[in-house]
Structures are given as structure tokens and as C-alpha cells.
Structure 1
Amino acid sequence: MDSSLEVLEQVLWNDTRNESLSCPFCSSNATPHTEQEIYTAQLSSLIVPVIFFFVCLVGLVGNMLVIYVVLRYAKMKTVTNIYILNLAIADALFMIGLPFMAIQNAIFYWPFGFTMCRIVMAIDSINQFTSIFCLTAMSIDRYLAVVHPVRAANCRKPSIAKIFSCISWLLSIIVVLPVIAFSHTDGQKSMCNIKWPDPVKVWSTVFILYTSLLGFFLPLFIICLCYLLIILKVKSSGMRVNSSKSRRSEKRVTQMVVVVVAVFVLCWLPFYILNIVNLAVEPPEDMLFHCLYLFIVILSYTNSCANPILYAFLSENFKKSFQKALCLKKARGHRGGKNTGLHKKKHKVNVTSPDTEMTTLAENGRGCNH
């Protein structure tokens, strides 16, 4: 066996059992024994980093674009978009750390030192919790906008959304303190993982349960409750959602948030289910489980690059803002007298809701003058 395979067996696949699968960044404990398993492990060490770098590129560009348009254009600073902004910031920060993970998967050890291990692990974990907390806040906001549009008008302001966003970040940091405290690199040629103190099983089990509850299942319950109440309210009151421009716009915003939440659940639910299952059943030490684990981890990471794509398809405002920021929207109203009236007419839209999708960017006719 050559030296690279020895590194593969002795370093990457050490059977320590001192890590927790509750961190998607942490490696699994599969140990390749046969030549086929070793070949599969080597193949994954090539494919996974490529996927990580691709996700990083798409996610970083997309989320930076979201951050730019929300901060750049005044009419994009709605309550929902404030939460989307914080969601994009969390995903962008995570994307910055993704190349470090890709390199670890490619060379079978963590070469960046103890401090960077803790920093990257912290960013990775904070992204998980900030994302779900922001989605929960967005869902509560949708409930207030649809069910209590008048009573909740004073609560649904960008300034209030900023306060709740800061609370989401603070809660996320508090929840992931154990990750920051116990992130560990065990000397040279070792992986960056969580190393629990004794009793390891108790620490690992408690951490999996409380992160799964606070970071997924409890927020998911609140989100589902919000949309259930919205459905019941609409049906019981006979609200005609399409009766006005304002209500149509609220419906579109709500649909966008529902899709974003659904994609988040689709990407992260397998990861949390795997964690819960592993509490009752010891993870098998074979390459099939390792491949399954890698697929689930990659699926959870792709969520960070999916949101900007969803915004572009589901929100006309985001679509126009992206086109404007990327200089894809050609100037209108300067090609002849026939278009001038139409161009002016577009600036007379009534904005009746803080989250209205009928907003027209006044800069649309200015080409790429940012």
C-alpha cells in the first residue's frame, strides 16, 4: 500500500468515536478496509472538494448579490427583505469557510491550525441556526401581515425586523458555544472535529438533542403553526386574496417565503433525522454509510446557494434588482417618443404595503448608473 493510502487509512478514517455527527462539517468514522472501499474513499476525496468549491462560488456570488441589492436600493428595504438580508449574510459567511472544508476533504487532514478550526466550525454552526431563526421570524411576519394587517402595522417595520435579526444572531452564538469550546485538532495530520469531554456519549447525546430541538424541530413547529393559522384565517373569513393589488402582493411574498422554508426543510431534514437515528443505532463503519453521510452534508450545504436563485424566480422585485445590479436591464424610455409615456407611467404605482411586490425601481431607466 502506498503512502497516500496509508494516510487515508490512518488519518482520515481513524476510529476515534469522539466526534459528533451533529456537526455537518465533522467527518464520519467509516474505515475503508477493502481495495474497493479505499478506491471509493479516494474518489470521494476528489469529487467532494469540487462540489464544495462549486457550491462556494455559486453561493458566494448569489448571496453577495442579495446583500448588495437590499442595501443599495431603498425600495428593497422591506421587513421581509431585512430577514432575507440577514439570511444572505449568514450564508455568505459560511461560503467563505467552505473552501477550508474542501481542502480538508481533499488532503485528509486539517492544515490550518487550531484557531482556524474553531473559527470555521463556529461559522458553520452559526449559519445553521441563524438561517432557521430568520426563516421563523419571516413566517411570523407573514402571519401578522395576512391575519392581522392593521393591528400589527406598528410591529411590522424595518427597524423592528433589524432588532429581531440581531436577537437571532445572538441566540445562534449562544446555542453554538459548545461547538466553539470543543472544536479540536488532535496534533498534526488530524481532522478538525468536535472532541467531547468524558462522558463522551452523554455530551454528544445532549448536544444532538438540544441542537435538533432548538435549531430545527421547534422553529419548524412554529413555522408550520403560522401557515396553518394563515390558511384557517383565510378560509374562515372568506378573504379574497386577489381583491386588491396590496393583497396580491402579500400573497406573492408569502408564497416566496413558503418556498424558501420548504427548500430549507428539504435540505436539512435528512441531516437532523440522521442525527436522531444515530442516537439509537450506532453508525456503521462502512463506505456505504460514509457516502450517504457525504450526500446528506452536501445537500445541507447546497441550501446556502439555493436561496438567491429562488428569489430571482419568485420575486419580481429581486429579479429586477438583480438585473439592474448586473447591468442586464437596458434603459427604457430613451428609444423614441412612443416609449416615454409608458416609462413615466411606471413611476405612478401606489405602494400600500411595506412588503409590496408592486414596487418599481425608479432607477430602471438609468441603465447601469449605480
Structure 2
Amino acid sequence: MDSDGQNISRNDTWVWKPFEWEWWICIQLVLAIVGILGNLLVMLVIFWPGRRRCATDILIGALAVADFLTSIFIIPHSKVKMYPDTNAARFYCKIVHTSTLMWISVCASIFTLTTISIERLVAVRFPIWFQRLFSPKRTSIAIVCIWIAAFGINTRSLYARYISDGKCVLSTPSMAFNRFIGVSLFLVEYVLPVIVMVVAHVWTIYILRQRRSSSLRKAQSLVLQMLLIVVITFIICWTPDQFGFLVFNLGIVPFTHLFSPLYRCFVILAFANSCVNPFIYAAGMPKFRRALMDLFMRKSIRGSRGIHSLFAGEGGGGTSEKSYTPTKATESFEV
């Protein structure tokens, strides 16, 4: 019965919880807006028609797409208190209530960043293999595979179900199975990617320090340093949230931990990762800043400043979409 004394039938009525502007909601909204605008600019700069794109450009563009979608999905919205007995409600229960789309985009972002680390290592350590492994076509296929894997991993929403009293609950076969899923996600979405990122960057830095050509090493290091900052930022932002959710899945802390002010801070820090990368690109890459300025000034990117790829490093940095041969690929390696 509602406040006016009239009966509410859960068979055809959506009952929404009151929306409250708590402090974390306000911060989450700001992060969402910044993430949407920042990553949109990155996508416009990279994918603007006529620009040459190396494998690194395509991957960073894909990372911006994943972060852009994550920013959209974290926009605060009212929650459903009681669901009607309809197919639309069941769909909402499985997809929206469980934030499945957000976790798919987050997972795709993590896997894309991991792939970028591997791409940089191969470009420096195995430049001949790099020309074949990271062609624009194969890089695009890899991105599609990343999204398929992200979707497959985040099928936990299938356990969300509508129950007879109008509620949506996430049920699993057993507590042991729930802990297994929680630990598996922690390993696949956090531990393994972090290990791969760190090892790949350390190995790449070691190889660059052995190079004799100072100009060659400087050009490659500029891109690598920027990407290393992106990786470190990812680790800083996501480590508290991942460990906080792990201890919950292991039963070390109660369910109320997910609603505590401490965990709210962890979640906000994790969401911040979706909007910081554009600032890192602008701060660390002069070519990106120039391309962004040209975009705002509506200059043609076919001029001398905009035609080259943005994130390629000299001498093994990237195969351009418009010049995929070992001889022509070097044209896009300027920093």
C-alpha cells in the first residue's frame, strides 16, 4: 500500500527507492561526467578520419572506449525496490541490477591495458615479429576477443533471479561456489593482469637501457613512461577495491562491509581510474596535446602535425593502418 492508501500490485508496478544525494553519489557523478568527456576526446583524436593509427593507437583507443562505457554505466540512478512480474523486470534484474554491463566494460579495460603492455614489449624485444603480430587487422581482432572474454567472465548475473515477492536476488548454488567465483575473478581480473603488466614493463625498460642509440631509446621511453604511469595508476586505483571485495567473498568481513564508508571510498577510487587516463596522455605526450588543440581549432589533421600516429615509439613502435610494410611503417614512428 502506498502513501495515499492505495494498493500496489507488484504484477504491473515498478516501485523505486528514493534517490538520495549522498557524498559518494555526488563524487561518482562527477567522475562519470569527467570520464565521459575525457575519453570521448581521446576517441575523437585517435579515430578521427584520415589519421594514421599504429597498433598502440588502436589499443589506446579501445581502452578509451572501455573507460567511456564504464563512465556511462557508473552514472548514479534510482534503484528498484519492488519488481513487477514481467520479462522486462527479469531482464532489468539480471543486467541492470547486477551492474553487469559496467563490469564487462571494466574487465575489457583491464584486459586491453594488459594487451598494451604486451604490445610494447613485443615492439621493443621482437620488432620483426611485431610487424606481423600487431597489424591493424589483428589488433582489431584481439580487441573483439577481449570483449568476448570480458562478457564470458562476467556471467555471474545469470544467477540473479526474480522471486515471488518482487525482489531481485543474486543466488549461487552454495557458499563455497560463491567463494570460488570470487577468488577466481580476483585472480583473472586483477592478479594475473597486474603480474603481466609489471613483468612486461620491467622487461621492456631493461631492454631499452641496453640500447646504444640514445635518440632511439628516448623516443621509445617517452611512450613507455606514459603507459607505465597508466599501469601504476590502475594498480593504485583498483587494489583497495579488489582486496576489499576479496575479503568479503572469503567471508572474512560481513555483508555490511559493502555499505561501509571505507568500502565506499575504495569504490570511488576504483571509478576514478576510468577518467584519469586522458589527463595522463595530455601531460605526457606532446603529440596528443597538439592533436587535441588541432581538434578544438578544427584544423585538418592531414597537415604536417596531425598525419602521424600519436602513440608510436621510434624504431619498432607501431604499424600504421595506412602503411603496413616494414619500410613504410617507420614513417609513423616520430614522437
The TM-score range, normalised by the shorter chain, is 0.7 to 0.9
Question: In 1, Cα distance between the equivalents of 2:233 and 2:113?
Answer: 11
Aligned to 2:102: 124
3-state SS of 2:22 partner: helix
3-state SS of 1:152 partner: helix
Which of 173, 178, 193 matches 1:198? Answer: 173
Question: In 2, Cα distance between the equivalents of 1:348 and 1:63?
Answer: 21
Question: In 2, Cα distance between the equivalents of 1:253 and 1:204?
Answer: 41
Displacement of 1:76: 5.0
The one-letter code matched in structure 2 to 1:324 is D
Q: Do the aligned residues in 1 keep the contact of 2:52 with 2:307 (CA within 8 Å)?
A: no
Matched, 1:183 2:155: no
Aligned to 2:6: none
Q: Do the aligned residues in 2 keep the contact of 1:241 with 1:251 (CA within 8 Å)?
A: no
Displacement of 1:109: 4.6
Aligned to 2:321: none
Alignment RMSD: 3.3
TM-score of the pair, normalised by structure 2: 0.76
Matched, 1:140 2:118: yes
Displacement of 1:156: 2.9
Q: Do the aligned residues in 1 keep the contact of 2:123 with 2:130 (CA within 8 Å)?
A: yes
Question: In 1, Cα distance between the equivalents of 2:308 and 2:152?
Answer: 44
The one-letter code matched in structure 1 to 2:214 is N
5+ residue gaps, structure 1: 4-41, 332-343, 360-370
Which of 293, 310, 314 matches 2:280? Answer: 310
3-state SS of 2:78 partner: helix
Displacement of 1:263: 0.7
Displacement of 1:317: 2.2
Displacement of 1:250: 1.8
Decide which structure has greater helix share.
1
Displacement of 1:205: 0.5
* Pairing of 1:32-181 with structure 2 (within 5 A): 45-75=21-51, 77-99=53-75, 101-104=76-79, 109=81, 113-120=89-96, 121-179=99-157, 181=158
3-state SS of 1:89 partner: helix
Question: In 2, Cα distance between the equivalents of 1:83 and 1:187?
Answer: 45
Q: Deviations over 1:169-203 (max 9, x none)?
A: 11101101123x1235667886x7x612332x123
Greater relative contact order (CA < 8 Å, ≥ 6 in sequence): 2
Label 1:287 to 1:358 Cα distance change in 2 as closer, same or farther (>3 A): same
Label 1:92 to 1:288 Cα distance change in 2 as closer, same or farther (>3 A): closer
Q: Do the aligned residues in 2 keep the contact of 1:252 with 1:357 (CA within 8 Å)?
A: no
Displacement of 1:81: 1.4
Identical residues among aligned pairs (%): 24
Matched, 1:211 2:181: no
* Pairing of 1:152-301 with structure 2 (within 5 A): 152-179=130-157, 181-184=158-161, 195-199=170-174, 201-235=175-209, 238-240=210-212, 242-244=214-216, 247-284=217-254, 290-301=260-271
How many aligned positions are there?
A: 294
Q: Do the aligned residues in 1 keep the contact of 2:124 with 2:316 (CA within 8 Å)?
A: no
TM-score of the pair, normalised by structure 1: 0.69
3-state SS of 1:103 partner: coil
Question: In 1, Cα distance between the equivalents of 2:260 and 2:307?
Answer: 58
Displacement of 1:70: 1.2
Q: Do the aligned residues in 1 keep the contact of 2:40 with 2:64 (CA within 8 Å)?
A: yes
Aligned to 1:28: none
Displacement of 1:155: 2.1
Label 1:184 to 1:76 Cα distance change in 2 as closer, same or farther (>3 A): farther
